[in-house]
Amino acid sequence: MAAFPNVNAAQKYARDVVGGKILACSFVKAACARHLNDLKASKAKAYPYKFDRDAAERVCSFIQLMPHTKGKWARGKQRIKLEPWQLFIFSMIYGWKIKADNTRRFREAYIEVPRKNGKSIIAAGAGIYGLCADNEYGAEVYCGATSEKQAWEVFRPALTMAKKLPNLRKKFNVVTWAKKLERPDGSKFEPLIGDPGDGASPSLGIIDEYHEHRDSSLYDTIISGMGSRDQPLVLVITTAGSDIAGPCYVMRDRCVNMLEGTEQEDDLFAIIYTIDKDDDWTSEEAILKANPNAGVSVSLSYLKARQASGIKHARKTNNIKTKHFNIWVSAKESFFNMEAWRKCEDRTLRIQDFAGIDCYYGFDLARKLDLTGMVRVFVKRINEQNHYYCIGPTFWVPEDTVNSDEDRRTSERYQGWVNAEFLEATDGAEIDYREVLAHATEANEEAPAQESGIDPHGAANLSHQLDDAGMNPVTIAQSYTHMSDPMKELEAAILTGRFHHDGHPIMTWCVGNVVGKYLPGNDDVVRPIKQGNQNKIDGAVALIMAIGRAMNAAQSGGSILDSLSDDDILVM
């Protein structure tokens, strides 16, 4: 046992997390439980994987020979000492092997941890190991990022480590250049901005702060270039972010599904340090749960000060939640709780199961050059409360907008959704409302509308046609008067589990982009706005209108806004 001190510490960490001795969120518990369960399963001859304690110990020992490059530890010329959670991560990624050929099991690894928790040590250490000690001839190690500055956040510590270790350079024949580490066999370690280029054959790709990436092109190119490698690895190390339609959150979603057992991905390792849905983020326990290096690389007093600042200053709250508690938000002042929204997802929902249930429609037509949405909401009365079911929303965008070069981020996002059949691209440069009408009429035959809330922007002709189709359109001005009550009802339904949706990604994106604009002097009155032109909220507005029509049908008594007029409080 004494021969494997690092592995033993990693194993103890896993047992202590699962046993409740170490504060940890459900995702960390799941990652630890997965390892312990796999250890038991690996004893069976038919199980395809094994845990190689020697390989795990080797990588942990190697990285702890590296020197610190910053702060008091660097001044004291100290070497890195991995904490138990870091030992666990390295042991998992490098220790699990395929029995058949003894190559590594995990080809993708996702580590999500708040700022100041020693990410650079994990990334730089993995990079040096990949260059020198991974038994990969002609290794190609890249640290990729969206900017040169960010890429150097990983490469600079690795370069400094190599410069401080003459014995390492001598043993592995490492040559240090200004922007590259090289070995005589052609092995190299260098920062990367954009694609590696034709001919590259990455053995290790390190992607830092993936939440800042607009698309998955860098990740995809690294993966596609790894075909000739026996045991390649893509290592993503990131904090949480604000773009839940971006590639990082998509990968995180995969990881969550794997950790929760809804999907099996045997070659994916993931660990996510955050707090749980019902945790009070203002508590000290939340700090410790989300920050595994609290009291080591980041002081508890610093984290408490940041927490206090978030409590005191509402405009700072979401940024602090994201950076120090790894809570994803889609806008810096997002109105809806997106973690609660995720809990409301039910992909088994089907329109045909709601035959005879009251259905309300919402149409947000926006501009003819951009996104248009139609939402259907079914309403069931359960235990004297409304439950809302949003199933099969439909979105349209002009084909010219999808292919536009003016906003590549938006057009690439739209292209992805069109390819996945979540978004309809209409011919030409403008939305053809005839297509919207045709689809709405067909949908109404399947689920008849009690009422349809419709955005007045350019809606006169379509409204008449919907009326002719028996869909009972009601024009809804985007004002405090009409939007506040249903917006708050949607928020309450999401938080209490009375809202249910089918996981449509565009709807999720739109809801996450909603920012609340409050009536001056009255925090009880709010309406939805967006933050920046890229953050569309059309689906959310249509949803709020549909819920508003459902509330209106069931409401007895007046709204708190009945005494106000649109002229008084409409602020667009």
Q: Tens digits of per-residue pLDDT, 399-455?
A: 888 887 666 667 778 888 998 899 999 888 888 888 999 999 999 999 999 999 998
Give the C-alpha separation, 101 to 82, whole Å.
29
Q: Is residue 332 part of a domain?
A: no
What CATH code is carried by the domain that includes residue 458?
3.30.420.240
Q: Are residues 124 and 198 in the same domain?
A: yes
Q: Are residues 308 and 367 in the same domain?
A: no
**DSSP state string for 78-145:** PBP---HHHHHHHHHHHHEEETTT--BS-SEEEEE--TTSSHHHHHHHHHHHHHHTS--TT-EEEEEE
Q: Are residues 96 and 83 in the same domain?
A: yes
Q: In 3D, which of 115, 190, 112, 176 has the Cα closest to residue 145?
A: 190
Domain end: 256, 272, 288, which one?
A: 272
Q: Are residues 248 and 309 in the same domain?
A: no
Give the pLDDT of residue 458. 61
Q: In 3D, which of 132, 32, 154, 19 has the Cα closest to residue 84?
A: 32
For residue 395, give the amino acid letter: F
Buried (b) or exposed (e) across 433-471, using 16+ Cβ within 10 A?
beebbeebeebbeebebbbbbbbeeebeebbebbeebeb
Q: Is residue 334 part of a domain?
A: no
- Does an H or E element contain 358, and which? none
Q: Are residues 235 and 300 in the same domain?
A: no
Q: Are residues 177 and 30 in the same domain?
A: yes
Q: In 3D, which of 342, 334, 380 has the Cα closest to residue 358?
A: 380
Q: Are 173 and 184 in contact (CB under 8 A)?
A: yes
Q: How many domains does the chain have?
A: 3
* Span 191-212, pLDDT tens digits: 887 665 656 889 999 998 999 8
Give the C-alpha separation, 89 to 269, whole Å.
9
Q: Are 360 and 380 in contact (CB under 8 A)?
A: no
What CATH code is carried by the domain that includes residue 35?
3.40.50.300
Q: Are residues 171 and 285 in the same domain?
A: no
Domain end: 272, 287, 315, which one?
A: 272
- Other Cβ atoms closer than 10 A to 43: 8
- Other Cβ atoms closer than 10 A to 388: 23
Q: Is residue 336 part of a domain?
A: no
- Does an H or E element contain 360, and which? strand 359-364
- Does an H or E element contain 468, and which? helix 460-468
Domain span holding position 535 = 341-569
Give the pLDDT of residue 2. 53
Q: Are residues 304 and 257 in the same domain?
A: no
Give the pLDDT of residue 1. 43
Q: What is the token pair recorded at 193?
A: 């901005």
Q: Are 414 and 423 in contact (CB under 8 A)?
A: yes
**What is the sign of the dihedral through the CA atoms of 311, 313, 319 and 323?**
negative
Q: Is residue 119 part of a domain?
A: yes
- Looking at the whole model, is its pTM more than 0.75? no
Q: Is residue 331 part of a domain?
A: no
Q: Are residues 309 and 255 in the same domain?
A: no
Q: Are residues 52 and 190 in the same domain?
A: yes
Residues of the chain with pLDDT under 50: 1, 556-572
Give the C-alpha separation, 165 to 99, whole Å.
35
Q: Are residues 517 and 374 in the same domain?
A: yes
C-alpha distances in angstroms, 125 versus 3, 407, 512, 556? 22, 37, 36, 64
Q: Are residues 165 and 60 in the same domain?
A: yes
Q: Is residue 335 part of a domain?
A: no
Residues 6+ apart with CB under 8 A from 97: 49, 50, 51, 52, 55, 103, 104, 105
- Does an H or E element contain 514, and which? strand 514-519
Q: In 3D, which of 500, 168, 151, 493 has the Cα closest to residue 357?
A: 500
CA 450 to chain centre: 36
Give the pLDDT of residue 195. 61
Q: Is residue 491 part of a domain?
A: yes
Give the pLDDT of residue 565. 41
End-to-end Cα spacing for the chain:
68
